[in-house]
A = this chain, B = another copy of it.
Amino acid sequence: MPGPAEPSLAERRALLRQALAIVSGSRRLIRGKIARGFSTKTKADESLVTDADLAAERFLRRELSRRFPDHGIIGEEFAPANAGSDFLWTIDPIDGTLSFARGIPLYGTILALHHRGRPVLGVIDHPSLGECYSAARGLGAALNGRRIRLQDLGPGEKVEREVVATGDRMHFLKCGRARDFDRLMRRHPQVRSYADCFGHTLAARGAVGAMVDFGIRLWDMAASQVLIEEAGGRYACLLSPPPGDLGQGFYGIVCGKPAVVDWLLPLFGRTKR
């Protein structure tokens, strides 16, 4: 029996509207936690989790299940639900918990929807910055509802003048790519770590030339392809686990302005398109 068909443009628009409504709720919840205080614990893998992470994921799951009872949900903090569904939501309630726990405003909530592995929509919300990035396939990308479109380098513009953002070196190390990180640092003069989804949204609006992120999980990057491509950028996945990954495997991606992504790909063993 075939599953549900790919959503139409009108359906994608409606799904995005719902996703944005849900994320405005998680933003309120997270801001409330900041105002009232939250507790922090260290997980088995030595990463941090706060009760704001848990409460936000519970909220997002509850809202998604209520609105889309047939859809699957994968999230960072709880077990997958209905993961065999054609429609699969991924949740990172607080990407950048280390930042969040220290009061650094550069964390974000990531929500994405895929249909049979193909991205339908993606939302990255930065509650403390008041910036919500969203995109759905064929509908463009937006920041707080206003269309964003990133500008590729012009003829005279040099890749060396663009900032290349990266995730933390320790994440490259985790998936055996520390050497790639070190090579990038030597080859490009303007590499800055903009950890977590903040680097992805900087790339989506062209504030940096590109973002290079390795050693991340499904929910860390699930929104980025549609966000970057709908903004007019280029997205390349350079490392991915075998099909069927539900958050166990590591990904590596490069995304941003086409000319900068093309310059970066050979450093990571890929030829330009």
Contact-size category for A: 20 to 34
A202, B102: Cα distance in complex, Å: 9
A129, B169: Cα distance in complex, Å: 26
Closest to A207 in B: B102
State how many angstroms separate the Cβ of A133 from the closest Cβ of chain B.
13
> Chain B residues with Cβ under 8 A from A206's Cβ?
102
Q: A98-B163, A104-B202, A105-B129 are in contact. Are A170 and B193 (CB under 8 A)?
A: no
Q: Is the CB of A104 within 8 A of B168?
A: no
Answer yes or no: A32 CB below 8 A from chain B CBs.
no
Answer yes or no: A189 CB below 8 A from chain B CBs.
yes
State how many angstroms separate the Cβ of A199 from the closest Cβ of chain B.
11
Number of copies: 2
A residues near B, CB below 8 A?
A: 98, 102-105, 129, 163, 168-170, 173, 182, 185, 189-193, 195, 202, 205-208
> Chain B residues with Cβ under 8 A from A105's Cβ?
129
Closest to A48 in B: B161
A168, B207: Cα distance in complex, Å: 16
With beta carbons under 8 angstroms apart, the residue of B163, B182, B190 that contacts A182 is B182
Closest to A185 in B: B169
State how many angstroms separate the Cβ of A193 from the closest Cβ of chain B.
5
A221, B252: Cα distance in complex, Å: 36
Most B C-beta atoms less than 10 A away, residue of A104, A182, A202: A104
> Chain B residues with Cβ under 8 A from A102's Cβ?
163, 202, 206-208
> Chain B residues with Cβ under 8 A from A182's Cβ?
182, 185
Q: Is the CB of B190 within 8 A of A193?
A: no
Q: Is the CB of A192 within 8 A of B195?
A: yes
State how many angstroms separate the Cβ of A38 from the closest Cβ of chain B.
15
A193, B194: Cα distance in complex, Å: 8
> Chain B residues with Cβ under 8 A from A189's Cβ?
170, 173
Q: Is the CB of A103 within 8 A of B205?
A: yes
With beta carbons under 8 angstroms apart, the residue of B168, B190, B191 that contacts A190 is B168
In the assembled complex, 14 residue pairs joining A and B whose CB atoms fall closer than 8 Å, in A order, are A102-B163, A102-B202, A102-B207, A102-B208, A103-B207, A104-B202, A105-B129, A168-B191, A170-B189, A170-B190, A173-B189, A182-B185, A192-B193, A193-B193
Closest to A202 in B: B104
A169, B169: Cα distance in complex, Å: 14
> Chain B residues with Cβ under 8 A from A195's Cβ?
192
> Chain B residues with Cβ under 8 A from A129's Cβ?
105
> Chain B residues with Cβ under 8 A from A173's Cβ?
189
State how many angstroms separate the Cβ of A174 from the closest Cβ of chain B.
10
> Chain B residues with Cβ under 8 A from A192's Cβ?
168, 193, 195
